[in-house]
Structure 1
Amino acid sequence: MPPSPSPQNWARAERLDADRLTEALYAEAGVRLMVEGPCPGGEIGAAYVRWPDGHRSVLKWRPNTRIEDLGAGPLAVCEVLVAQGYPCPSTELAVQVDHAVVLVQTLLPGTPVRCLDHRGLDRALALNEAQAGLLTGRTDVPSMNLYLLDDGPGYCLHEPLRRHSRRGGDLERRIRSVGLDHPLRLPGHDVVHQDFHQGNLLAVDGSVAGVIDWDGSGRGDRRFDLVTLRFGLHASEQAPGVTSRLDDILDGLPDDILRPSWAHMSLRMADWAIRHFAPGDVEHWLDMAEQRV
Structure 2
Amino acid sequence: MAPNHMPDRADSDTVFTVLNEANQVHGTDFQLDHRFDDGVQSGAWLLTDGTGRQAVLKWSPDRGWAPQIARAARSVAKVHSMGYPTPAWLAAGVTTDGFGYQIQELVPGRSRSQVTAHEAQLLIDVLETHAGLDPDPQRCWSQYVTGQMTDHREELLQGAAETGPTGQQLVNVCERLLAAHGPVALPTGDLVHGDFRPGNILFHGDHVSGVIDIEALGSGTRAFDYATLLSAHDITPEALEMLCSAGEQVAGPGVLAHCFAHVVLDLTVFVHQRELQPGIRNVSKLLDRAVILLNRAIGA
Q: What is the TM-score when the length of structure 1 is the normalising length?
A: 0.77
Aligned partner of 1:71 in structure 2 is: 70
Question: Does 205-214 or 157-166 show the bigger shift?
Answer: 157-166
Distance 1:116 1:287, change over 3 A: closer
2:73·2:92 contact (CA, 8 Å) conserved in 1?
A: no
Distance in 2 of aligned mates of 1:151 and 1:49: 42
Aligned partner of 1:162 in structure 2 is: 161
- Considering only CA atoms, is the larger Rg found in Structure 1 or Structure 2? 2
2:218 aligned with 1:201: no
Percent identity between the aligned chains?
A: 23
Distance in 2 of aligned mates of 1:13 and 1:237: 34
| Structural RMSD (CA) | 3.3
Distance in 2 of aligned mates of 1:111 and 1:88: 14
Q: Deviations over 1:163-216 (max 9, x none)?
A: 234663464477679599346xx5311111122222222121243222111022
Residue aligned with 1:203, SS: strand
Distance in 1 of aligned mates of 2:65 and 2:166: 39
Aligned partner of 1:292 in structure 2 is: 293
Long gaps (5+) in structure 2: 1-5, 295-300
Aligned partner of 1:105 in structure 2 is: 104
Residue aligned with 1:105, SS: strand
For residues 1-293 of structure 1, the aligned pairs below 5 Å read: 14-27=8-21, 29-30=23-24, 31-39=28-36, 40-41=38-39, 44-62=42-60, 63-65=62-64, 67-72=66-71, 74-97=72-95, 98-135=97-134, 138-144=136-142, 145-146=144-145, 147-149=148-150, 158-165=157-164, 168-169=167-168, 171-172=170-171, 178=178, 181-182=183-184, 186-232=186-232, 235-236=233-234, 238=236, 241-253=238-250, 254-275=252-273, 276-278=275-277, 280-292=281-293
How far is 1:106 from its partner? 1.1
Distance in 1 of aligned mates of 2:59 and 2:152: 24
Long gaps (5+) in structure 1: 1-11
Distance in 2 of aligned mates of 1:52 and 1:24: 18
Distance in 1 of aligned mates of 2:91 and 2:8: 21
Distance in 2 of aligned mates of 1:141 and 1:75: 13
1:95·1:101 contact (CA, 8 Å) conserved in 2?
A: yes
Q: What is the TM-score when the length of structure 2 is the normalising length?
A: 0.76
Q: Which amino acid aligns with 2:209?
A: A
| Number of equivalenced pairs | 272
Larger helix fraction of residues: 2
1:273·1:285 contact (CA, 8 Å) conserved in 2?
A: no
2:124·2:243 contact (CA, 8 Å) conserved in 1?
A: no
Aligned partner of 2:3 in structure 1 is: none
Distance in 2 of aligned mates of 1:50 and 1:215: 23
